[in-house]
Amino acid sequence: MGNKVIQVFDTTLRDGEQVPGAQLNTLEKIEVAQALERLGVNVIEAGFPVSSPMDFQSVSEICKVVKTPTICALTRAVEKDIDVAADSLKHARYPRIHTGIGTSPYHIQYKLNSTREEILERAVKAVRYARQYVEDVQFYAEDAGRTDNDFLARVVEAVIDAGASVVNIPDTTGYTLPAVFGEKINYLYDHVPNVDKARISVHCHNDLGMATANTVSGIINGAGQVEVTMNGVGERAGNTSLEEVVMTLESHSDLHFDTSIQTEQIYETSRLVSRLMRMPVQANKAIVGRNAFAHSSGIHQDGVLKHRENYEIIDPKTVGVPENSMVLTARSGRAAFRHRMKKLGVTVNGDLLEGYYQKFLEIADKQKQVNDDHLLAIVADEHQSNEAYLKLRSLDVTCGNNKDAVVNLQVEVEQEVQHAEATGNGPIDAAFKAVKQIVHNGYSLDEFLVQAITGGSDDIGKVHVQLEKDKKLYYGFGSDTDIITASVKALLDAVGKLI
């Protein structure tokens, strides 16, 4: 008997994109969707069309350019949502509507102020309504992780009878333990008489760090579809990470599961999502983190050199990780630079590529070696200065240990250069006060994070800031070898978004 093929449902553009500050515009979403198509996912959940005109437009545009995967749109169990989702999917070759409702006691009582019988009725009605538009309807039982198995089985049976082709069992709060989640899936296979007429899908969150374990446990117990995001991005602690589940199934061939994922595309897709969402991948992230294949202790290095599998369970090449040895220097030519950029998910040509290359040469002149993080910082920074609403034109700083810091700066706002001067208890404080003189929109600074890329004193600094206004969060990023400049760029990036 051949391996069972597990369907990969990617929700980077829907659940993943709900992360504050990680929102993508339509063009960026199309770029991610095309990368997901190359990666080989079966379904792309492209958005929640009723939530905003921009979400609607993104789903609709993705349908026009993506050919192979099914395109899915999320709705509540509400007719208006379903109407809008169906409209957004009208150009899709393979459209799917994903509708659903909360089924746990928490959701029924405190969120929906309803009863089990009413929820069952609404679930069935929503599936039937969606079936008028498309053949492929997926139902989600929100907070299924905390839903009694017997009631969940009744819901699953009813929605399959109503025409659902896929039933999603989400562990919405990331509360469930792997064995318990696996038993839940097993229970459904044992107690839902028509379960063979639909595919069971698992959708886990990582609040207790168990999303991948729960998902794999769901697969072992019969689930035929996994709902995942690239790099595990998603609200709170995130969703199940695509690369972790896919590589777990690849590594454990004894489990006899396959997916259609082109694993050598994983690294490139991961970097693209990280860059566009401005969400750095943690260094020790499984599969795609900077250190995932870096062996630093002498014993491990020696062991890997003798036989790679002594310390590596995955060959980095199988997930498209570029050779560790390939670092760029000031002598690297444009071809090597373009090749490396492509590996990092940056496919640009012409003037844009030349601009990045010149910036790279500047950095390479100051440093001996330029690694992937430096390159990504260059791209993020250049992208920002081309697109920015507020552009830093000049910055002068006077500071020292026995005096107040004084900052003079010039910022271009809609082609007009404005000047400000401020003092502060340090250069960053003074610079931020000067920016406030030019644009003060009543925001507060919630978070300010400075990181050096490699740790050398000649390094590029990366700065992330988070502003808050009217309970909404705005993120900004800046990078430069001068840390004050990087900080001001990050602040202007965030303030620009707020405006």
| Contact flag: residue 199 with ligand KIV (CB under 6 A) | no
Site of tokens 């300010």: 448
Number of residues that bind ligand KIV (CB under 6 A): 8
Residue 139 interacting entry, from ligand KIV, Zn ion, none, C-beta within 5 to 8 Å by type: none
Complex with ligand KIV: residue 142 or 373, whichever CB lies closer: 142
Q: Which alpha helices (DSSP H) does 321-446 contain, by range?
A: 334-343, 350-366, 372-387, 427-438
Residue from 7, 12, 42, 172 binding ligand KIV (CB under 6 A): 172
**Smaller CB separation from Zn ion, 202 or 439:** 202
Cross-strand bridge partners of residue 204: 171
- State yes or no: residue 28 binds ligand KIV (CB under 6 A): no
168 belongs to the binding site for ligand KIV (CB under 6 A): yes
As measured in angstroms, the least distance from the Cβ of 447 to ligand KIV is 25
- In this structure, what DSSP letter does residue 368 have? S
Q: Pick between residue 170 and residue 238 the one whose CB is nearest to ligand KIV.
A: 170
Q: Minimum distance between the CB of residue 280 and ligand KIV, rounded to whole angstroms?
A: 24
Q: Looking at beta carbons, which residue is closest to Zn ion?
A: 15
| 142 binds ligand KIV per the rule CB under 6 A | yes
CA dihedral for 174, 72, 25, 82, sign (positive or negative):
negative
**Residue 181 binds ligand KIV, judged by CB under 6 A:** no
142 binds, among Zn ion, ligand KIV, none (CB under 5 to 8 A by kind): ligand KIV
Q: Which is nearer to ligand KIV, 18 or 57 (CB)?
A: 18
CA separation for the pair 352, 349 (Å, rounded): 6
Instruction: Tell me how far the alpha carbon of residue 384 is from its chain's centroid.
Output: 19
Q: Calculate ∠ Cα 413-498-445, nearest 5°.
A: 105
13-42 b/e (C-beta count within 10 Å ≥ 16 → b): bbbbbbbebbbbebebbbbbbbbbbebbbb
Total of chain residues touching Zn ion, rule CB under 5 A: 1
Q: How far is the CB of 35 from ligand KIV (least distance, A)?
A: 22
Name the token pair of 264. 């050598």
Nearer to ligand KIV, 60 or 103 (CB): 103
Helices assigned H by DSSP within 192-333? 211-220, 242-251, 266-277, 298-306
Apex 310 CA angle, 308 and 314, nearest 5: 60
Residues numbered 2-61 forming contacts with Zn ion, rule: CB under 5 A? 15
CA distance 141 to 147: 9
Member of 170, 218, 320, 427 binding ligand KIV (CB under 6 A): 170
Chain contacts with ligand KIV (rule: CB under 6 A): 15, 140, 142, 168, 170, 172, 203, 205
Chain contacts with Zn ion (rule: CB under 5 A): 15
